[in-house]
Structure 1
């Protein structure tokens, strides 16, 4: 169940919600939807409190949930734990004690990026007293539907090429992806059907790489210049280019080099090769020069590394994608 579906199914605010979502976008979205539905604007000044981690957190939370509402039937308390914030075992036990002693007129929304171990007593006790719900970040196979739905919510349609571009550039970083989609909506308020070129005109320019940048990067790999290749990689990442997008661009160029190298055995006419592989003659001409830096076997090995890494990126196997990308480049140069 997604956030919207869950909130819609809740007819009345319960006493305690314990919400897990790894992605901050989903946690913030739940908080916004929850407040919008259950907390009237007129009572928010005096009956909506935020108690977040920090000094004397448990004491502050205990005080907040023991305070009765002022001039209203219910008081709402929100507590939000981010990626780097957590409680130890002893603190978790105290948290359970607080949960068990909420004022009868209080509704507590507890949001966290830390997944609960369902084998432990904490979870078993928590389930007895709280509405516990997990919201998973959309995986790659579901991400296209998430993107299409975001545009649909604004009465807009988006073509498949645009969806794939957004997936490749931002992966499932929903906070950033949503921000870019909001930019697109602002730029095209009256346009119902958006194309790849519409998106490219507005999405942060530094996120895009020109073919020439990728070709130059491949030259360094082909020349076995490890230090320069890694420095160039770092510069591209510092510009804001996302690892998955860079990996996709590398894959496209390696595949182009492989095709051009194969047909170059039979002709040196870049226009003829371009017709055969359905590409523009200019990048084919550039590829004819660059593919001399690699053997066909080297290109196959590099492509194999990229495809394997692409799979691991999409399944969340690599916690640090930048470091993983550096290792792929080092391996590629070693071939």
Structure 2
């Protein structure tokens, strides 16, 4: 269930909403939509408060949910747990007590990035006292629909090539994706359909180098086409792309190839492998094709060479990083 559907179905407010979403974009979106739908602007100054983790968190939360509303029927409290926030076992028990004893005129929205182990007693007890709801970060085909729907909200369509470019560049990092989509629709207020070339004018040049040229360059390495790979490398370096940046991209790609090659022993379905390693199916499909050019041992040797070079780059061992990177590429293709 998506956030809009959930909000629209809520006719009678509950005392506690316990909302899990690993992605901060979704947690913030729920908070914004809940406030817009259920909390009149006229009462927000005195009857809407935030209580977030920190010193004496549970004491502050307990006081907030027990405080009666001022000049209104309801008081609303929002508590937001980010990725680094957590509670120990004893604190969780106290949190349950707060949920159980919340004031009848209060509604608490508890947002968390921490997934609950549903086999444990905490979850079973929790379900008796709160409305528990999870919102999963969209992946694979759902991510396609999410991007399309974001453009649709602005009255725009997006072609398939543009859709894949955005997915490959930002994966399911919804905060970044949303920000880039906002930039695109703001730049083209009168266009009904956004094309690849429209996007290319908006997204930063560095990101397009990453998505277009670097992946073509990595394809050449995967195909062991040494002359063309070195020519492409020189062109990128001449345009000012940092050697260490290229080295990092190469490391990421080799690690992906190693993961995909390992799981290809069991299946050649790129979607199944993508789910195993939590990646989008498209780059996994490309990696499956590239991985056929290497043995697992060759990939391990290349990664070892890259990690050694990375250390030397950072310590200043190589005075000429461009030449050093060329030598690393030659070694990589030679394995």
TM-score by length of 1: 0.70
Q: Partner of 1:76: helix, strand, or coil? A: strand
Judging changes above 3 Å, is the alpha-carbon distance between structure 1 residues 39 and 192 closer, same or farther for their aligned structure 2 residues? same
**Alignment of 1:8 onto 2:8:** yes
Match 1:317 to one of 257, 261, 277: 277
* Aligned residues of 1:207 and 1:242 also touching (Cα < 8 A): no
* Aligned residues of 2:3 and 2:135 also touching (Cα < 8 A): yes
| Residue 303 (structure 2) aligns with | 330
Judging changes above 3 Å, is the alpha-carbon distance between structure 1 residues 212 and 101 closer, same or farther for their aligned structure 2 residues? closer
| Residue 177 (structure 2) aligns with | 177
**Alignment of 1:235 onto 2:208:** no
| Residue 91 (structure 2) aligns with | 91
Q: Partner of 2:209: helix, strand, or coil? A: coil
Give CA-to-partner distance per residue, 1:54-108, whole Å, 9 cap, x none.
1111011011101010111100000000111111111100000011111110000
Q: Partner of 1:65: helix, strand, or coil? A: helix
* Aligned residues of 1:312 and 1:318 also touching (Cα < 8 A): no
Q: Which runs of 5+ in 2 are unaligned?
A: 234-240, 280-286, 288-298, 305-331
Judging changes above 3 Å, is the alpha-carbon distance between structure 1 residues 219 and 242 closer, same or farther for their aligned structure 2 residues? closer
Post-superposition shift, 1:205?
A: 2.3
Judging changes above 3 Å, is the alpha-carbon distance between structure 1 residues 83 and 125 closer, same or farther for their aligned structure 2 residues? same
* Aligned residues of 1:169 and 1:242 also touching (Cα < 8 A): no
How far apart, CA to CA, are the structure 2 residues paired with 1:59 and 1:137? 32
Post-superposition shift, 1:327?
A: 6.8
Q: Partner of 1:110: helix, strand, or coil? A: strand
How far apart, CA to CA, are the structure 2 residues paired with 1:98 and 1:136? 26
Matches within 5 A, 1:243-258: none
Q: Partner of 1:315: helix, strand, or coil? A: helix
| Residue 46 (structure 1) aligns with | 46
* Aligned residues of 1:76 and 1:106 also touching (Cα < 8 A): yes
* Aligned residues of 1:183 and 1:202 also touching (Cα < 8 A): yes
Judging changes above 3 Å, is the alpha-carbon distance between structure 1 residues 137 and 85 closer, same or farther for their aligned structure 2 residues? same
| Residue 149 (structure 2) aligns with | 149
How far apart, CA to CA, are the structure 2 residues paired with 1:312 and 1:233? 34
How far apart, CA to CA, are the structure 2 residues paired with 1:159 and 1:63? 52
Matches within 5 A, 1:211-226: none
Q: Which runs of 5+ in 1 are unaligned?
A: 252-300, 320-324
Post-superposition shift, 1:185?
A: 1.3
* Aligned residues of 1:15 and 1:130 also touching (Cα < 8 A): yes
Post-superposition shift, 1:330?
A: 1.3
Post-superposition shift, 1:242?
A: 12
Post-superposition shift, 1:5?
A: 0.6
Post-superposition shift, 1:12?
A: 2.7
Post-superposition shift, 1:142?
A: 1.3
TM-score by length of 2: 0.70
Number of aligned residue pairs: 271
* Aligned residues of 2:259 and 2:277 also touching (Cα < 8 A): no
